[in-house]
Structure 1
Amino acid sequence: MQRIVVSASIVYAANVDGATIHVTGLNERQVEFGDGYTSFATLSGGEGYINSTVLVNAPDFVTVTGASVNEMLTLLRDQQTALVSQQVEIEALKTFVGMHSSPSPPQCVPATFSTISIAVDDSASDFLYQGAAVVGTRVFMTPYNHNSVGVLDTTTNTFSTISTVGAGVTGSYKYWGGGAVVGTRV
């Protein structure tokens, strides 16, 4: 049996009937048979891949041209590139999921607040305002035992009132309930 090394990566064992081809690299297309065509021999079942040994017996073997082998290798390289890309995406996803699956409770920032003094001149009751509605930067407070609507301006932190006496509203429990905004009116 004669052994020929082709481009230092493929070993071809002659004769063709009962030949053994050992595929060891990317240059399979350089294996030549007696007819001079660049071909790659494999079993008709499709066996034959890099780092494999294929035993071919006439007439059970088929040959494919070098172009077909190149296409096969291109497909393999593309699949390898896709697998590497998917591995990178999976690692990134593991990191992302790991950041969001922390067993510690979420950190809450405590709210800060301030107070302002509200001067009331006409009421002895502690229940002056019950409901409130926000319009822009002002908070309108519904009177309870009071003769005016309270207005808090949040940009200046000042409090003022709008009298309800001129509207003919007097007595206790004037507007018992919450405030509502309709358009620009409370």
Structure 2
Amino acid sequence: QCSLDEALEILEQLRAGFAEQGFQDGLFGLQGDFPSRRVRGHSDAVAFFTALEELTMTVYENLLPRYRFRSGWNGVRSLHASMELAMSNDLAQRLQGEISLLLGLPRDALAYFLQKEQEVLVHRPRGDGPVPGWPGALRADVDGELAHEFWEEDPSTGELLRRGPVFSHDSW
């Protein structure tokens, strides 16, 4: 857990980072790129928050290593979890509210924003999402063909059967 002084120092640095002109220009640009972001169910909302996450990470990436937190959203969540006790302080709450407002969010929105766990599926309307690799290496069958799993027809029943499991566990 962070001390109150350390938490206030972190919040001040976050506020300063989000208040920088370059960040605010980027945020203004995002707001212009996604004009329908506030329309419930509109694809702009998802795309805007995805872009906002990437933009906010530019500030966090500079701060996290200074306080020995891992980079990425897990580090951000760990950072904010370490400040949980300090967040009962009025000044800390005020700074957190100012940060939310600098992000163009309601004053109390950042607390919810930071609880986000990694999603299994994320809609990327622009088709620009990362393509993950396969969880296991390709294997060769008796014919020398490479695959992650092989299906063969059972000669007696005609049903397809998975042969030679590639994974020690199901990937589904």
Please report the TM-score for the alignment, with normalisation by the length of structure 2: 0.24
Higher RCO, 1 or 2 (CA under 8 Å, sep at least 6)? 2
Pair member with larger Rg: 1
Q: Which has the higher helix share?
A: 2
Q: Which has the higher strand share?
A: 1
Please report the TM-score for the alignment, with normalisation by the length of structure 1: 0.23
